[in-house]
């Protein structure tokens, strides 16, 4: 089985009184025995089908917008895996799950190991205060959540977001990675660091 499995779920994103239909990428990283799940949008059964019976070590939320954490509690209940989130996203998390806290805090520079793969946490505020990316250097891959997409940065036009902050996060932290790094995003197509350096400039 590949080290990276992708699932796509469909549902809605709601913030600031508006709701939009969205498709979300879910990235499952590990080996034949154990995995972590990156983000928990919309549909537990679709995610578990992609897990394919493997042990789930953690549910890692790249940020707390409802389309990335909506089914995290149910997914945790069904797998026994803890939910990880950066604490700077507490206010955003509480909009969706005011009666349940996540289990473990993510932090800059933290290492999470699963199936012989090391994931490094990069705190990239801007899309939300606690947004993070996960870098797997051995795989040459970055899981960028909604911080960086094919064609540029994630949206910053809503509550809890800041355009100057996200651009600083991208240029200072993500553009320091090798340009050949594959970027697996929270929505849409994958890209590379080099392509986004060319599009956005350093």
93-106 residue pLDDT tens: 999 999 999 999 99
Is the pLDDT score of 32 beyond 90? yes
Structure-block tokens of residue 27: 């990235």
pTM above 0.85, yes or no: yes
Distance from C-alpha of 177 to C-alpha of 136, rounded to nearest angstrom: 11
The predicted model gives 70-85 an average pLDDT of: 98
**CA 23 – CA 74 distance, rounded (Å):** 19
Beta bridge mates, 6: 27
């Amino acid at each position: 089985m590949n080290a990276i499995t992708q699932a796509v779920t469909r549902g809605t994103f709601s913030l600031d009184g508006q709701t939009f239909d969205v498709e979300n990428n879910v990235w499952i990283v590990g080996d034949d025995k154990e995995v972590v799940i990156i983000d928990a949008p919309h549909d537990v059964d679709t995610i578990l089908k992609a897990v394919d019976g493997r042990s789930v070590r953690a549910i890692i939320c790249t940020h707390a917008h409802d389309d990335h954490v909506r089914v995290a509690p149910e997914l945790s209940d069904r797998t026994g895996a803890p939910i990880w989130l950066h604490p700077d996203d507490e206010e955003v998390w509480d909009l969706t799950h005011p009666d349940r806290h996540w289990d473990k805090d993510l932090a800059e520079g933290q290492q999470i190991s699963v199936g012989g793969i090391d994931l490094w946490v990069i705190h990239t505020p801007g899309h939300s205060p606690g947004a993070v990316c996960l870098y797997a250097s051995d795989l040459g891959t970055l899981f960028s959540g909604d911080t960086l997409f094919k064609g540029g940065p994630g949206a910053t036009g809503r509550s809890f977001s800041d355009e100057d902050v996200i651009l600083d996060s991208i240029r200072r932290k993500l553009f320091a990675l090798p340009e050949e790094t594959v970027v697996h995003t929270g929505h849409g197509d994958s890209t590379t660091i080099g392509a986004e350096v060319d599009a956005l400039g350093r």
